[in-house]
Amino acid sequence: MMDAEFSRLNMTPTRDFCGILDTLVMARQMHPGARASLDALCKRYGIDNSHRELHGALLDAEILADVYLMMTGGQTDLALGEDESDSEVVELDLGDIHVDAAALKVVRATNEETAAHEAFLDLIDKKSEGALWRRS
């Protein structure tokens, strides 16, 4: 997703300036034949994910960070920069971003797509006993 957005801005794809690590591949290599789902890895490493009732990108990313730390056997939390004497400032110059707003194509959902989306939101609302975004 990020590479697609960067290419729209005529910028370098992310893989050219930062490494990418696939934790699913890593887990399968470390534990061949074992389940490698996030829930299975939480159970394997004793990470509490009981507050994970619904799938959500932010919550899953936070849990995966804990799993990654346990998989690598290094630090046990993400407390970054506590000891400022060890901290290093890294600057990344992405250059000036110029976007011609008039050239951006706006794609609007059709009535059918909007109805399907609303139906899906209704289902989420029903399954979650009241979605947050629909509360007053």
Say whether pTM exceeds 0.75.
no
In this prediction, residue 105 carries a pLDDT of 82
Q: Write down the catalytic residue from 31, 55, 98, 117.
A: 55
Residue showing tokens 């009981």:
50
Angle between helix 23-30 and 57-72 (nearest 10): 40
Angle between helix 38-45 and 57-72 (nearest 10): 40
In this prediction, residue 113 carries a pLDDT of 94
Instruction: Give the domain 2-78+102-134 fold.
Output: Nucleotidyltransferase; domain 5 (3.30.420)
Q: How far is residue 98's CA from residue 103's CA, in Å, rounded to a whole number?
A: 12
Average pLDDT for residues 38-61, to the nearest whole number?
A: 84
pLDDT in tens, 96-135: 667 777 777 888 999 999 999 989 888 888 877 776 666 6
In this prediction, residue 34 carries a pLDDT of 92
In this prediction, residue 116 carries a pLDDT of 94
Amino acid identity at 126: K
CA of 64: how far to CAs of 12, 41, 71, 106, 116, in Å?
Answer: 27, 9, 10, 34, 31
Active site residue 51: no
Q: Where are the domains of the chain?
A: 2-78+102-134
Report the percent of the chain where pLDDT is more than 90: 21
Q: How far is residue 41's CA from residue 44's CA, in Å, rounded to a whole number?
A: 5
